[in-house]
Amino acid sequence: MEKVFLSKCENYNREEVYSAIDKIFDMAGGIGKVVNKNDKVFLKINLVMKKHPDDAATTHPMVVEAVAKKLVDYGCDVIIGDSPGGPYNEKVLKSLYKVCGIEEAAKNSGSKLNYDCRTEDFFNS
């Protein structure tokens, strides 16, 4: 059975979100129980539509930043991304990342953004 860890966070204030993320990793037994140093980690977020963070339609960028920063500081190579509905190309992703606050979250955390939009047909290859 998988475990889920939660930490209450009253707002998206940087210090509170970072503290909540620290608590979650502590509950899991430490970051080393979740990832290894030098791991390549894809942080899959939810970018369902191009909305400002205050609209609460996507993963909040402060949560993305806090998790990514924790992983980067531990020594992981972190790539943030999603495959949102509708057209899926680099131009669309750049626009979504910017409006949703993810571009800044990646910059502040030292992580990268995914722009790889290739598809593969695993059943006919």
Q: Taking 80 as the threshold, does the pLDDT of residue 120 lie above it? A: no
pLDDT of 22 reads 97
Residue 104 within any structural domain of the chain = yes
Q: Taking 70 as the threshold, does the pLDDT of residue 125 lie above it? A: no
CA distances from 51 to 69, 117, 125 (A): 23, 21, 37
Residue 77 within any structural domain of the chain = yes
Tokens of 43: 């942080």
Residue 1 within any structural domain of the chain = no
Domain ranges, residue 73: 14-113
Residue 90 within any structural domain of the chain = yes
How many domains does the chain divide into? 1
Residue 23 within any structural domain of the chain = yes
Residue 120 within any structural domain of the chain = no
- 19-53 tens-digit pLDDT: 999 999 999 999 999 999 999 999 999 998 888 99
Secondary structure of the chain in the HEC alphabet? CCCCCCCCCCCCCHHHHHHHHHHHHHHCCCHHHCCCCCCEEEEECCCCCCCCHHHCCCCCHHHHHHHHHHHHHHCCEEEEECCCCCCCCHHHHHHHHHHCCHHHHHHHHCCEECCCCCCCCCCCC
- Global pTM value: 0.91
Residue 37 within any structural domain of the chain = yes
